[in-house]
Amino acid sequence: MSVATTTKAGDTQVTLTGAKIIAAVKQSGVAFIFAVPDIVTSKGLLFPIAADKDLRLVRVCKEDECVGIASGLTYSDKRALILIQYTGFLDSLNAIRAVAVEYKQPIVMMVGLLGHEPDRLPSQSGRYGVRIIEPICDAMGIPHHLISQDADVAKIKPAIDKAYMESSPVALLVGRRPS
């Protein structure tokens, strides 16, 4: 259930709680987080993950490095999550294509949609880069789930479990800054 607060004007403000996302990630058995700092997820996810004793945060220089490392961990029965911004996703398309899609590896990507307007679907965003993420995932056959409010957090564990069960990639699109 989404946590909502009421503003002075009476509008309902939807929230996305980083602690709930982290709990769902941990429930799915993820032990490693590979990340390039990202302004959308840093405060609500990256900083708390860095302080979490149950998760191993590995900071990388480029997003495509995450893909190979996460793939290698699958051979040790370790689960990983890649925490990147959509620009890094776009920059990593060749690695994602080769490793995740063609070699059918369970690459789990949590992609921050920098500049996305949370009241719109990503496909309706005024920002071109955000607008093309879902069509690219569709063209590559990568299942994707929009995580934009607390109610969406329930999608995380089943998506990660399915990726590892079917040895296939998945993209979890973070549509607002987690608090």
Domains located in the chain, CATH noted? 17-174 (3.40.50.970)
Query: Would the pLDDT of 8 be above 70?
Result: no
Q: For residue range 74-123, what is the model confidence (pLDDT) as tens digits?
A: 999 999 999 999 999 999 999 999 999 999 999 999 999 999 998 899 99
The amino acid present at 168, given as its one-letter code, is: S
- CA 81 vs. chain centroid, Å, equals 8
Q: Is the dihedral of CA 54, 107, 45, 146 positive or negative?
A: negative
